[in-house]
Amino acid sequence: MARKSVASILFAATLVVMVSCGGGGKKTVGIAKFVAHPALDAVEKGIVDEIKAAKPDVEFDQQNSNADMATAAQIAQRFKERKVAVAVGIATPTAQALANQIKDRPVVDSVVTDPVSAGLVESMDKGGANITGTSDMTPVRTQLDLLLSMAPVKRLGHLYASGEANSVALAAIVKQYCGEKGIEYVEATVTNSSEVKSALLSIAGRIDGLYLGNDNTVFSALSAVSEVTLAKKIPLMSADPASAETIPVLAALGYDYYQMGRATGKIVVRILNGEKTKDIPGFLPTDPEALVLVLNQDVAAQIGVKLDPALVERAKVLVAGGKVTKK
For the chain, residues classed under CATH 3.40.50.2300 are 3-136+257-279, 140-256+288-326
- More confident position, 19 or 57: 57
Q: According to CATH, what is the number of the domain 3-136+257-279?
A: 3.40.50.2300
Listed residue (142, 172, 168, 146) closest to 235, CA to CA: 146
Q: What does the alpha-carbon distance between residue 26 and residue 51 come to, in Å, rounded to a whole number? A: 13
Q: Phi/psi of residue 281, each to 5°? A: -65, 160
Spell out the alpha helix ranges (H) of 21-68: 38-54
Specify the DSSP class assigned to residue 137: -
Whether the CB-CB separation of 237 and 252 falls below 8 Å is answered with: yes
Angle of CA points 255, 257, 262, to nearest 5°: 120
Pairing of strands 28-33, 86-90: parallel
Rounded alpha-carbon distances, angstroms, from residue 53 to 49, 56, 223, 270: 6, 6, 34, 13
When pLDDT is cut at 50, 70 and 90, the band that residue 2 belongs to is very low
- Mean pLDDT across the stretch 182-191? 98
Dihedral over Cα of 122, 126, 127, 129: its sign? negative
Is it true that domain 140-256+288-326 has CATH number 3.40.50.2300? yes
Task: Examine the pLDDT at 20 and tell me if it is beyond 60.
Answer: no
pLDDT in tens, 73-89: 999 999 999 999 999 99
Whether the CB-CB separation of 60 and 28 falls below 8 Å is answered with: yes
When pLDDT is cut at 50, 70 and 90, the band that residue 23 belongs to is very low
Total residue length of the chain = 327
Dihedral over Cα of 166, 270, 71, 194: its sign? positive
Kind and range of the H or E run holding 63:
strand 59-64
- Mean pLDDT across the stretch 141-154? 97
**207-246 per-residue burial string, b: 16 or more CB within 10 A, e: under 16:** bbbbbbbbbbbbbbbbebbbebbbeeebbbbbbbbbbbbe
Angle of CA points 148, 323, 213, to nearest 5°: 35
pLDDT in tens, 151-170: 999 999 999 999 888 899 99
Q: How much is the mean pLDDT over the chain?
A: 92
